[in-house]
Amino acid sequence: MSIYLARAISPAALARLRGTDDAGQPCVPFVDGEGGNPLRCCLRLSLVGERIALVSYAPLRRWAAEAGVEPGAYDEQGPVFVHAEECEGPRPSEAYPFERAGALRTVRRYDAEGRIAGGRLLELPEAAREGFDRAFAEAFADPAVVLVHVRAVEYGCFHFEVRRP
């Protein structure tokens, strides 16, 4: 089992996003007719018929507020899917969310001041968990790195964060 924990969007942040998102837009739920959307509230793919919403989320802004720092120019926001109503959250798993061999991810590192401290492109290997573990070990080998964001390359969407163990 990995020492790195993939973190979903916190319940407190989700409660706010389900009202007004980080771009100041109201949440507009819809019934998912196709399924397969990556839900950042529970770190699984949506099912056909679930009520979900696409909201704008600023993960570094949320972390920086908690840490008492300013993210400055690194404050990015982008679209994420969440359940329209409160859900059970992520279930324990040995896999990382949204693993798919061949998928391209960015693994972006941040320091304690909320500044980018490097990053890398990761093509998920067949053994995706081991690929993520190596990328996180590499990131946290730098003592300045306190936080890692994983994003999809195709759309730039935030997938999950990992904090220093």
Q: How far apart, in Å, are the Cα atoms of 108 and each of 100, 115, 138? A: 19, 10, 11
* Cα Dmax for the chain: 45
Cα radius of gyration (the chain): 15
- Listed in sequence order, the residues at least 6 apart from 116 whose beta carbon sits closer than 8 Å to its beta carbon are 74, 108, 109, 110
Checking if the pLDDT of 2 tops 80, the result is: no
| Strand ranges of the sheet holding 158-163, from the earlier edge strand across to the other edge | 116-123, 104-111, 145-152, 158-163
Rounded average pLDDT over 1-24 = 94
Output the average pLDDT for the chain.
95
Query: With b meaning 16 or more CB within 10 Å and e meaning fewer, what string describes 129-147?
Result: bebbeebbebbbeeeebbb
Angle, vertex CA 82, rays to CA 92 and CA 121, nearest 5: 70
The predicted pLDDT at position 1 comes to 61
The predicted pLDDT at position 5 comes to 94
Give the predicted TM-score (pTM) of the model.
0.93
Angle, vertex CA 44, rays to CA 41 and CA 45, nearest 5: 115
- Listed in sequence order, the residues at least 6 apart from 67 whose beta carbon sits closer than 8 Å to its beta carbon are 112, 114
The predicted pLDDT at position 22 comes to 97
Q: 163: closest CA among 38, 8, 35? A: 8
Encode pLDDT of 60-75 as tens digits: 999 999 999 998 899 9
Report DSSP state, residue 74.
G
The predicted pLDDT at position 98 comes to 93
Encode pLDDT of 79-137 as tens digits: 999 999 999 999 988 889 999 999 999 999 999 999 999 999 999 999 999 999 999 99
